[in-house]
Chains A and B, each alone.
Chain A
Protein backbone atom coordinates (compact mmCIF):
# COMPACT_ATOMS: atom_id res chain seq x y z
CA UNK A 1 0.00 0.00 0.00
CA UNK A 2 2.89 2.34 0.73
CA UNK A 3 4.19 1.87 -2.79
CA UNK A 4 0.73 2.12 -4.28
CA UNK A 5 -0.03 5.56 -2.88
CA UNK A 6 2.24 7.48 -5.30
CA UNK A 7 0.82 5.38 -8.11
CA UNK A 8 -2.71 6.35 -7.16
CA UNK A 9 -1.68 9.99 -6.97
CA UNK A 10 -0.06 9.72 -10.39
CA UNK A 11 -3.29 8.33 -11.79
CA UNK A 12 -5.29 11.18 -10.31
CA UNK A 13 -2.81 13.81 -11.55
CA UNK A 14 -2.86 12.28 -15.02
CA UNK A 15 -6.64 12.37 -15.14
CA UNK A 16 -6.57 15.99 -13.98
CA UNK A 17 -4.07 16.80 -16.72
CA UNK A 18 -6.38 15.25 -19.31
CA UNK A 19 -9.34 17.19 -18.00
CA UNK A 20 -7.26 20.37 -18.06
CA UNK A 21 -6.25 19.82 -21.68
CA UNK A 22 -9.87 19.28 -22.67
CA UNK A 23 -11.18 22.31 -20.82
CA UNK A 24 -8.38 24.70 -21.84
CA UNK A 25 -8.82 24.01 -25.53
CA UNK A 26 -12.56 24.48 -25.19
CA UNK A 27 -12.09 27.81 -23.43
CA UNK A 28 -9.24 29.26 -25.49
CA UNK A 29 -10.06 27.98 -28.95
CA UNK A 30 -12.45 29.95 -31.17
CA UNK A 31 -15.74 28.32 -32.02
CA UNK A 32 -16.74 28.86 -35.56
CA UNK A 33 -18.03 25.65 -37.06
CA UNK A 34 -18.25 25.84 -40.83
CA UNK A 35 -20.13 22.89 -42.36
CA UNK A 36 -17.30 22.01 -44.73
CA UNK A 37 -14.84 21.97 -41.86
CA UNK A 38 -16.89 19.37 -40.07
CA UNK A 39 -17.00 16.97 -42.97
CA UNK A 40 -14.86 13.90 -42.75
CA UNK A 41 -11.68 14.08 -44.76
CA UNK A 42 -11.39 12.51 -48.15
CA UNK A 43 -8.91 13.22 -50.92
CA UNK A 44 -10.68 16.01 -52.73
CA UNK A 45 -14.05 14.36 -53.20
CA UNK A 46 -17.20 14.05 -51.15
CA UNK A 47 -17.11 11.03 -48.87
CA UNK A 48 -18.51 8.11 -50.80
CA UNK A 49 -19.77 5.88 -48.03
CA UNK A 50 -19.30 5.38 -44.34
CA UNK A 51 -15.87 4.21 -43.33
CA UNK A 52 -17.13 1.24 -41.44
CA UNK A 53 -16.91 -1.40 -44.10
CA UNK A 54 -15.89 -5.04 -43.71
CA UNK A 55 -12.17 -5.46 -43.84
CA UNK A 56 -9.38 -7.86 -44.61
CA UNK A 57 -9.33 -10.88 -42.34
CA UNK A 58 -5.54 -11.03 -42.18
CA UNK A 59 -5.64 -8.42 -39.43
CA UNK A 60 -7.83 -10.75 -37.41
CA UNK A 61 -5.25 -13.51 -37.77
CA UNK A 62 -2.54 -11.23 -36.48
CA UNK A 63 -4.61 -10.40 -33.43
CA UNK A 64 -5.39 -14.05 -32.68
CA UNK A 65 -1.80 -15.16 -33.12
CA UNK A 66 -0.64 -12.29 -30.98
CA UNK A 67 -3.02 -13.35 -28.24
CA UNK A 68 -1.78 -16.94 -28.27
CA UNK A 69 1.88 -16.03 -28.37
CA UNK A 70 1.37 -13.39 -25.73
CA UNK A 71 -0.03 -16.04 -23.41
CA UNK A 72 2.95 -18.28 -24.19
CA UNK A 73 5.42 -15.44 -23.70
CA UNK A 74 3.77 -14.52 -20.41
CA UNK A 75 4.66 -17.98 -19.09
CA UNK A 76 8.32 -17.26 -19.77
CA UNK A 77 8.30 -14.48 -17.23
CA UNK A 78 7.81 -16.53 -14.05
CA UNK A 79 10.17 -19.11 -15.47
CA UNK A 80 12.90 -16.53 -16.05
CA UNK A 81 12.41 -15.18 -12.55
CA UNK A 82 13.30 -18.44 -10.81
CA UNK A 83 15.71 -19.82 -13.38
CA UNK A 84 18.92 -18.32 -11.99
CA UNK A 85 18.25 -19.50 -8.46
CA UNK A 86 17.18 -22.95 -9.62
CA UNK A 87 20.51 -23.66 -11.31
CA UNK A 88 21.97 -24.73 -8.00
CA UNK A 89 19.45 -27.57 -7.89
CA UNK A 90 20.27 -28.99 -11.30
CA UNK A 91 18.96 -28.50 -14.80
CA UNK A 92 15.29 -29.38 -14.15
CA UNK A 93 14.10 -25.94 -15.23
CA UNK A 94 16.31 -25.99 -18.30
CA UNK A 95 14.52 -29.14 -19.46
CA UNK A 96 11.16 -27.59 -18.70
CA UNK A 97 12.14 -24.65 -20.87
CA UNK A 98 13.39 -26.77 -23.74
CA UNK A 99 10.17 -28.79 -23.89
CA UNK A 100 8.04 -25.67 -23.65
CA UNK A 101 10.07 -23.77 -26.18
CA UNK A 102 10.16 -26.71 -28.54
CA UNK A 103 6.36 -26.75 -28.63
CA UNK A 104 6.21 -23.00 -29.08
CA UNK A 105 8.76 -23.17 -31.89
CA UNK A 106 6.68 -25.80 -33.66
CA UNK A 107 3.72 -23.43 -33.57
CA UNK A 108 5.77 -20.51 -34.82
CA UNK A 109 7.33 -22.59 -37.55
CA UNK A 110 3.88 -23.77 -38.59
CA UNK A 111 2.48 -20.27 -39.07
CA UNK A 112 5.61 -19.07 -40.83
CA UNK A 113 5.62 -22.04 -43.14
CA UNK A 114 1.95 -21.64 -43.97
CA UNK A 115 2.60 -17.97 -44.75
CA UNK A 116 -0.43 -16.90 -42.77
CA UNK A 117 0.95 -13.43 -42.34
CA UNK A 118 1.58 -12.80 -45.98
CA UNK A 119 -0.42 -9.66 -46.63
CA UNK A 120 -1.15 -7.88 -49.88
Chain B
Protein backbone atom coordinates (compact mmCIF):
# COMPACT_ATOMS: atom_id res chain seq x y z
CA UNK B 1 0.00 0.00 0.00
CA UNK B 2 1.39 3.34 -0.99
CA UNK B 3 0.95 6.73 0.59
CA UNK B 4 -1.31 7.66 -2.33
CA UNK B 5 -3.70 4.84 -1.45
CA UNK B 6 -3.84 6.07 2.09
CA UNK B 7 -4.53 9.65 1.01
CA UNK B 8 -7.26 8.50 -1.36
CA UNK B 9 -8.87 6.38 1.33
CA UNK B 10 -8.76 9.24 3.81
CA UNK B 11 -10.13 11.74 1.30
CA UNK B 12 -12.94 9.41 0.35
CA UNK B 13 -13.97 8.89 3.95
CA UNK B 14 -13.77 12.57 4.88
CA UNK B 15 -15.38 14.01 1.74
CA UNK B 16 -18.33 11.62 1.79
CA UNK B 17 -18.84 12.04 5.54
CA UNK B 18 -18.78 15.83 5.29
CA UNK B 19 -21.11 15.71 2.30
CA UNK B 20 -23.61 13.57 4.17
CA UNK B 21 -23.44 15.82 7.22
CA UNK B 22 -24.56 18.67 4.94
CA UNK B 23 -27.87 16.88 4.82
CA UNK B 24 -28.55 18.18 8.32
CA UNK B 25 -28.67 21.95 7.63
CA UNK B 26 -30.46 21.42 4.33
CA UNK B 27 -33.07 19.26 5.98
CA UNK B 28 -33.57 21.71 8.85
CA UNK B 29 -34.33 24.42 6.30
CA UNK B 30 -36.51 22.27 4.06
CA UNK B 31 -38.43 20.87 6.97
CA UNK B 32 -39.22 24.30 8.40
CA UNK B 33 -40.12 25.76 5.01
CA UNK B 34 -42.38 22.86 4.07
CA UNK B 35 -44.02 22.96 7.48
CA UNK B 36 -44.67 26.65 6.95
CA UNK B 37 -46.04 26.04 3.49
CA UNK B 38 -48.44 23.39 4.74
CA UNK B 39 -49.53 25.44 7.73
CA UNK B 40 -49.92 28.54 5.56
CA UNK B 41 -47.31 30.78 7.16
CA UNK B 42 -44.04 32.24 5.83
CA UNK B 43 -41.60 30.12 7.85
CA UNK B 44 -37.99 31.22 8.39
CA UNK B 45 -37.42 34.41 6.36
CA UNK B 46 -35.31 36.73 8.53
CA UNK B 47 -31.81 35.30 8.35
CA UNK B 48 -30.37 35.78 4.87
CA UNK B 49 -32.33 35.71 1.61
CA UNK B 50 -35.44 33.49 1.99
CA UNK B 51 -34.14 32.59 5.43
CA UNK B 52 -31.47 30.46 3.82
CA UNK B 53 -28.98 31.16 6.56
CA UNK B 54 -31.39 29.94 9.23
CA UNK B 55 -29.60 26.57 9.65
CA UNK B 56 -26.32 28.42 10.21
CA UNK B 57 -27.96 30.51 12.88
CA UNK B 58 -29.43 27.39 14.43
CA UNK B 59 -26.08 25.65 14.48
CA UNK B 60 -24.36 28.65 16.06
CA UNK B 61 -27.07 28.88 18.65
CA UNK B 62 -26.65 25.24 19.57
CA UNK B 63 -22.92 25.69 19.90
CA UNK B 64 -23.12 28.87 21.95
CA UNK B 65 -25.61 27.59 24.50
CA UNK B 66 -24.68 26.43 27.94
CA UNK B 67 -24.26 22.69 28.11
CA UNK B 68 -25.52 21.76 31.54
CA UNK B 69 -25.42 18.27 32.94
CA UNK B 70 -28.40 17.97 35.25
CA UNK B 71 -27.87 16.62 38.74
CA UNK B 72 -28.95 13.03 39.38
CA UNK B 73 -27.94 11.99 35.89
CA UNK B 74 -25.36 9.31 35.26
CA UNK B 75 -22.80 11.73 33.92
CA UNK B 76 -20.68 9.42 31.77
CA UNK B 77 -23.51 7.69 29.96
CA UNK B 78 -25.47 10.92 29.75
CA UNK B 79 -22.59 12.55 27.93
CA UNK B 80 -21.86 9.55 25.73
CA UNK B 81 -25.43 8.77 24.67
CA UNK B 82 -25.81 11.36 21.88
CA UNK B 83 -22.59 10.13 20.36
CA UNK B 84 -23.75 6.54 20.59
CA UNK B 85 -26.48 7.67 18.21
CA UNK B 86 -24.19 9.69 15.99
CA UNK B 87 -21.38 7.17 15.55
CA UNK B 88 -23.47 4.39 13.95
CA UNK B 89 -25.21 7.02 11.81
CA UNK B 90 -21.82 8.14 10.51
CA UNK B 91 -20.51 4.61 10.05
CA UNK B 92 -23.38 3.24 7.95
CA UNK B 93 -22.80 5.67 5.11
CA UNK B 94 -19.60 3.77 4.34
CA UNK B 95 -21.58 1.04 2.60
CA UNK B 96 -23.62 3.20 0.23
CA UNK B 97 -22.41 3.17 -3.38
CA UNK B 98 -22.91 6.75 -4.52
CA UNK B 99 -21.51 6.36 -8.02
CA UNK B 100 -19.51 3.89 -10.06
CA UNK B 101 -15.94 5.13 -10.33
CA UNK B 102 -13.83 8.12 -11.20
CA UNK B 103 -10.31 8.18 -12.55
CA UNK B 104 -8.08 10.53 -10.60
CA UNK B 105 -4.29 10.52 -10.21
CA UNK B 106 -4.27 7.70 -12.76
CA UNK B 107 -6.20 5.48 -10.39
CA UNK B 108 -9.68 4.07 -10.46
CA UNK B 109 -11.54 5.35 -7.43
CA UNK B 110 -14.90 3.88 -6.49
CA UNK B 111 -17.25 6.49 -5.07
CA UNK B 112 -18.08 4.47 -1.99
CA UNK B 113 -16.14 4.42 1.25
CA UNK B 114 -15.88 0.66 1.71
CA UNK B 115 -17.01 -1.89 -0.85
CA UNK B 116 -17.67 -4.75 1.57
CA UNK B 117 -19.10 -7.97 0.17
CA UNK B 118 -21.75 -7.87 2.90
CA UNK B 119 -22.58 -4.19 2.71
CA UNK B 120 -26.35 -4.73 2.98
CA UNK B 121 -26.00 -6.61 6.27
CA UNK B 122 -23.44 -4.04 7.35
CA UNK B 123 -26.04 -1.28 7.05
CA UNK B 124 -28.66 -3.29 8.92
CA UNK B 125 -26.21 -4.36 11.62
CA UNK B 126 -24.58 -1.01 12.32
CA UNK B 127 -27.97 0.65 12.00
CA UNK B 128 -29.28 -1.59 14.76
CA UNK B 129 -26.65 -0.16 17.11
CA UNK B 130 -28.34 3.24 16.92
CA UNK B 131 -30.86 2.07 19.49
CA UNK B 132 -28.27 2.30 22.29
CA UNK B 133 -27.97 6.07 22.10
CA UNK B 134 -31.67 6.32 22.83
CA UNK B 135 -31.76 3.55 25.45
CA UNK B 136 -28.75 4.76 27.42
CA UNK B 137 -29.69 8.40 26.97
CA UNK B 138 -33.15 7.81 28.36
CA UNK B 139 -31.84 5.77 31.25
CA UNK B 140 -28.95 8.03 32.17
CA UNK B 141 -31.20 11.12 32.22
CA UNK B 142 -32.87 9.75 35.33
CA UNK B 143 -36.20 11.20 34.34
CA UNK B 144 -39.47 9.35 34.02
CA UNK B 145 -40.35 10.86 30.68
CA UNK B 146 -36.97 9.99 29.30
CA UNK B 147 -37.13 6.43 30.53
CA UNK B 148 -40.59 5.81 29.09
CA UNK B 149 -39.58 7.48 25.85
CA UNK B 150 -36.46 5.37 25.63
CA UNK B 151 -38.27 2.11 26.28
CA UNK B 152 -40.98 2.91 23.79
CA UNK B 153 -38.50 4.03 21.24
CA UNK B 154 -36.32 0.98 21.62
CA UNK B 155 -39.32 -1.36 21.36
CA UNK B 156 -40.38 0.46 18.24
CA UNK B 157 -36.96 0.31 16.65
CA UNK B 158 -36.45 -3.37 17.34
CA UNK B 159 -39.96 -4.24 16.18
CA UNK B 160 -39.42 -2.53 12.86
CA UNK B 161 -35.95 -3.87 12.31
CA UNK B 162 -37.49 -7.25 11.50
CA UNK B 163 -39.70 -6.11 8.58
CA UNK B 164 -36.74 -4.10 7.33
CA UNK B 165 -34.60 -7.22 7.35
CA UNK B 166 -37.30 -9.35 5.72
CA UNK B 167 -37.76 -6.80 2.95
CA UNK B 168 -34.02 -6.84 2.42
CA UNK B 169 -34.10 -10.63 2.15
CA UNK B 170 -36.44 -10.27 -0.83
CA UNK B 171 -33.95 -8.01 -2.53
CA UNK B 172 -31.05 -10.36 -1.78
CA UNK B 173 -33.01 -13.20 -3.40
CA UNK B 174 -33.52 -11.23 -6.60
CA UNK B 175 -29.97 -9.96 -6.90
CA UNK B 176 -28.20 -12.96 -5.40
CA UNK B 177 -25.69 -10.80 -3.56
CA UNK B 178 -25.21 -8.89 -0.32
CA UNK B 179 -23.12 -6.22 -2.00
CA UNK B 180 -25.03 -3.00 -2.59
CA UNK B 181 -22.63 -2.11 -5.38
CA UNK B 182 -23.34 -5.32 -7.27
CA UNK B 183 -27.05 -4.73 -6.77
CA UNK B 184 -26.80 -1.36 -8.47
CA UNK B 185 -24.69 -2.77 -11.29
CA UNK B 186 -27.37 -5.39 -11.92
CA UNK B 187 -30.04 -2.70 -12.26
CA UNK B 188 -28.53 -1.27 -15.44
CA UNK B 189 -30.65 -1.30 -18.59
CA UNK B 190 -34.36 -1.87 -19.11
CA UNK B 191 -36.89 -4.50 -18.14
CA UNK B 192 -39.05 -5.89 -20.98
CA UNK B 193 -37.91 -2.90 -23.03
CA UNK B 194 -40.18 -0.35 -21.37
CA UNK B 195 -39.47 -0.16 -17.66
CA UNK B 196 -36.17 0.75 -16.05
CA UNK B 197 -34.55 -2.41 -14.76
CA UNK B 198 -35.03 -1.36 -11.12
CA UNK B 199 -35.53 -3.41 -8.01
CA UNK B 200 -38.96 -1.97 -7.28
CA UNK B 201 -40.40 -3.78 -10.30
CA UNK B 202 -39.15 -7.08 -8.93
CA UNK B 203 -40.02 -6.41 -5.29
CA UNK B 204 -42.93 -3.93 -5.09
CA UNK B 205 -44.26 -5.39 -1.83
CA UNK B 206 -40.77 -5.54 -0.40
CA UNK B 207 -40.30 -1.87 -1.20
CA UNK B 208 -43.50 -0.85 0.57
CA UNK B 209 -42.52 -2.80 3.67
CA UNK B 210 -39.08 -1.26 3.55
CA UNK B 211 -40.50 2.25 3.17
CA UNK B 212 -42.89 1.90 6.10
CA UNK B 213 -40.28 0.27 8.32
CA UNK B 214 -37.75 2.95 7.47
CA UNK B 215 -40.10 5.62 8.84
CA UNK B 216 -40.24 3.77 12.12
CA UNK B 217 -36.51 3.10 12.20
CA UNK B 218 -35.72 6.77 11.80
CA UNK B 219 -38.35 7.77 14.37
CA UNK B 220 -40.19 10.01 11.95
CA UNK B 221 -43.84 10.85 12.10
CA UNK B 222 -46.16 8.96 11.95
CA UNK B 223 -43.86 6.84 14.09
CA UNK B 224 -42.28 9.50 16.30
CA UNK B 225 -43.39 7.90 19.57
CA UNK B 226 -39.98 8.29 21.14
CA UNK B 227 -40.56 12.04 21.12
CA UNK B 228 -44.32 12.35 21.03
CA UNK B 229 -44.06 15.80 22.51
CA UNK B 230 -47.72 15.93 23.49
CA UNK B 231 -47.38 12.90 25.76
CA UNK B 232 -43.84 12.54 26.94
CA UNK B 233 -42.57 16.17 26.94
CA UNK B 234 -39.75 15.29 24.57
CA UNK B 235 -39.22 11.60 25.14
CA UNK B 236 -35.71 10.30 25.58
CA UNK B 237 -34.04 13.69 25.08
CA UNK B 238 -36.10 15.61 27.63
CA UNK B 239 -33.02 16.30 29.71
CA UNK B 240 -30.76 17.14 26.81
CA UNK B 241 -29.86 20.62 25.73
CA UNK B 242 -27.40 22.52 23.63
CA UNK B 243 -25.23 20.61 21.19
CA UNK B 244 -25.99 17.24 22.79
CA UNK B 245 -29.60 17.69 21.77
CA UNK B 246 -28.49 18.74 18.31
CA UNK B 247 -26.31 15.63 18.07
CA UNK B 248 -29.38 13.42 18.41
CA UNK B 249 -30.93 15.36 15.58
CA UNK B 250 -27.85 15.14 13.42
CA UNK B 251 -27.98 11.38 13.86
CA UNK B 252 -31.66 11.33 12.98
CA UNK B 253 -31.23 13.28 9.76
CA UNK B 254 -28.18 11.26 8.75
CA UNK B 255 -30.15 8.07 9.30
CA UNK B 256 -32.82 9.55 7.09
CA UNK B 257 -30.25 10.10 4.37
CA UNK B 258 -28.97 6.54 4.79
CA UNK B 259 -32.43 5.02 4.59
CA UNK B 260 -33.25 7.10 1.52
CA UNK B 261 -29.92 6.07 0.02
CA UNK B 262 -30.61 2.42 0.78
CA UNK B 263 -34.01 2.57 -0.93
CA UNK B 264 -32.48 4.34 -3.89
CA UNK B 265 -29.77 1.72 -4.17
CA UNK B 266 -31.91 -1.37 -3.70
CA UNK B 267 -35.18 -0.38 -5.35
CA UNK B 268 -34.52 2.60 -7.61
CA UNK B 269 -31.41 1.74 -9.53
CA UNK B 270 -28.92 3.71 -7.46
CA UNK B 271 -26.83 5.89 -9.72
CA UNK B 272 -28.49 4.74 -12.97
CA UNK B 273 -30.53 7.08 -15.10
CA UNK B 274 -33.69 5.36 -16.33
CA UNK B 275 -33.75 3.94 -19.87
CA UNK B 276 -30.08 4.65 -20.47
CA UNK B 277 -27.38 2.10 -19.86
CA UNK B 278 -24.08 3.20 -18.42
CA UNK B 279 -22.26 2.13 -21.54
CA UNK B 280 -24.44 4.32 -23.77
CA UNK B 281 -24.07 7.27 -21.46
CA UNK B 282 -20.32 6.86 -21.37
CA UNK B 283 -20.29 6.95 -25.18
CA UNK B 284 -22.20 10.22 -25.25
CA UNK B 285 -20.26 12.11 -22.62
CA UNK B 286 -16.97 10.49 -23.54
CA UNK B 287 -15.29 10.71 -20.16
CA UNK B 288 -15.50 8.43 -17.14
CA UNK B 289 -15.20 11.38 -14.77
CA UNK B 290 -18.12 13.26 -16.34
CA UNK B 291 -20.15 10.07 -16.22
CA UNK B 292 -19.27 9.72 -12.57
CA UNK B 293 -20.45 13.26 -11.91
CA UNK B 294 -23.76 12.56 -13.66
CA UNK B 295 -24.13 9.43 -11.55
CA UNK B 296 -23.48 11.34 -8.33
CA UNK B 297 -26.15 13.89 -9.23
CA UNK B 298 -28.61 11.17 -10.20
CA UNK B 299 -28.04 9.52 -6.85
CA UNK B 300 -28.43 12.78 -4.95
CA UNK B 301 -31.60 13.58 -6.87
CA UNK B 302 -33.18 10.24 -6.08
CA UNK B 303 -32.22 10.52 -2.41
CA UNK B 304 -33.66 14.03 -2.27
CA UNK B 305 -36.98 12.81 -3.58
CA UNK B 306 -37.18 10.32 -0.73
CA UNK B 307 -36.13 12.91 1.83
CA UNK B 308 -38.84 15.22 0.56
CA UNK B 309 -41.33 12.40 0.88
CA UNK B 310 -40.32 11.99 4.53
CA UNK B 311 -40.91 15.68 5.16
CA UNK B 312 -44.26 15.71 3.38
CA UNK B 313 -45.50 12.69 5.28
CA UNK B 314 -44.35 14.15 8.56
CA UNK B 315 -46.70 17.08 8.14
CA UNK B 316 -49.54 15.03 6.68
CA UNK B 317 -50.18 12.06 8.93
CA UNK B 318 -51.07 11.93 12.62
CA UNK B 319 -49.16 9.82 15.09
CA UNK B 320 -49.88 6.16 15.80
CA UNK B 321 -50.82 4.91 19.20
CA UNK B 322 -48.23 2.62 20.72
CA UNK B 323 -50.25 -0.59 20.56
CA UNK B 324 -51.27 0.19 16.99
CA UNK B 325 -47.63 0.64 16.17
CA UNK B 326 -46.69 -2.76 17.52
CA UNK B 327 -49.72 -4.38 15.91
CA UNK B 328 -48.74 -2.91 12.55
CA UNK B 329 -45.28 -4.39 12.76
CA UNK B 330 -45.95 -7.80 14.30
CA UNK B 331 -49.43 -8.31 12.92
CA UNK B 332 -49.05 -6.96 9.40
CA UNK B 333 -45.57 -6.09 8.22
CA UNK B 334 -43.77 -9.20 9.44
CA UNK B 335 -46.37 -11.69 8.10
CA UNK B 336 -46.51 -9.79 4.80
CA UNK B 337 -42.73 -9.77 4.70
CA UNK B 338 -42.64 -13.55 5.15
CA UNK B 339 -45.33 -14.00 2.53
CA UNK B 340 -43.40 -11.78 0.18
CA UNK B 341 -40.39 -14.08 0.53
CA UNK B 342 -42.45 -17.21 -0.20
CA UNK B 343 -44.22 -15.70 -3.18
CA UNK B 344 -40.98 -14.36 -4.60
CA UNK B 345 -39.30 -17.73 -4.08
CA UNK B 346 -42.08 -19.63 -5.82
CA UNK B 347 -42.27 -17.12 -8.66
CA UNK B 348 -38.52 -17.25 -9.12
CA UNK B 349 -38.71 -21.02 -9.25
CA UNK B 350 -41.36 -21.06 -11.95
CA UNK B 351 -39.99 -18.18 -13.98
CA UNK B 352 -36.52 -19.64 -13.68
CA UNK B 353 -33.75 -17.45 -12.34
CA UNK B 354 -35.35 -14.02 -12.30
Contact = CB atoms under 8 A, between A and B. Distances in A.
Direct contact of A and B (CB under 8 A): yes
Interface of A: 2-7, 9-11, 13-15, 17-18, 21-22, 24-26, 28-33, 37-43, 47, 50-53, 55, 59, 62-63, 65-66, 69-70, 73-74, 76-77, 80-85, 87, 91, 94, 97-98, 101, 104-105, 108, 111-112, 117-120
Contacts of A41: 70, 143, 145, 233, 238-239
Contact of B330 (A26, A59, A117): A117
B108 interface: no
B92 to A, nearest CB: 10
A25 B161 contact: no
Interface string B151-177: 100110011011001101110111111
Interface string B172-208: 1111111000000000000000000000000000000
A100 to B, nearest CB: 10
Contacts of A83: 173, 176, 345, 348
26 contacts: A3-B114, A3-B115, A5-B1, A10-B17, A10-B114, A13-B14, A25-B243, A26-B67, A29-B63, A29-B65, A38-B71, A40-B71, A41-B70, A52-B142, A70-B158, A76-B169, A76-B341, A77-B168, A77-B169, A77-B172, A81-B176, A81-B178, A84-B354, A112-B331, A118-B323, A120-B322
Given A50-B142, A69-B334, A94-B349, A7 B113 contact: yes
Contacts of A15: 87
B335 A6 contact: no
Interface stretch (B5-13, B256-264, B291-299): B5-13
A84 B151 contact: no
Contacts, number: 211
Interface in B325-352: 326-327, 330-331, 334-335, 338, 341-342, 345-346, 348-349, 352
A69 B162 contact: yes
A52 B238 CA distance: 15
Interface in B55-96: 62-73, 79, 83, 86-87, 90-91, 94
Given A14-B87, A22-B79, A63 B330 contact: no
B271 to A, nearest CB: 19
A26 B243 CA distance: 10
B9 A5 contact: yes
Given A6-B94, A73-B166, A37 B68 contact: yes
B102 to A, nearest CB: 15
Interface residues of B, number: 85
Given A41-B233, A52-B142, A62-B158, A119 B348 contact: no
Contacts of A70: 158, 161-162, 165
B142 A85 contact: no
Contacts of A18: 83, 86-87
Interface in B1-31: 1, 5-6, 9-10, 12-14, 17
Contact of A4 (B114, B154, B322, B338): B114
B144 interface: yes
Given A37-B68, A38-B71, A97 B169 contact: no
Given A40-B70, A59-B155, A70-B162, 9 more contacts: A13-B90, A14-B86, A14-B90, A17-B86, A51-B143, A73-B162, A73-B166, A84-B354, A98-B342
A98 B17 CA distance: 42
A3 to B, nearest CB: 5
- For B64, B352, B354, the residue with the greatest tally of chain A CB atoms inside 10 Å of its CB is B64
B115 A108 contact: no
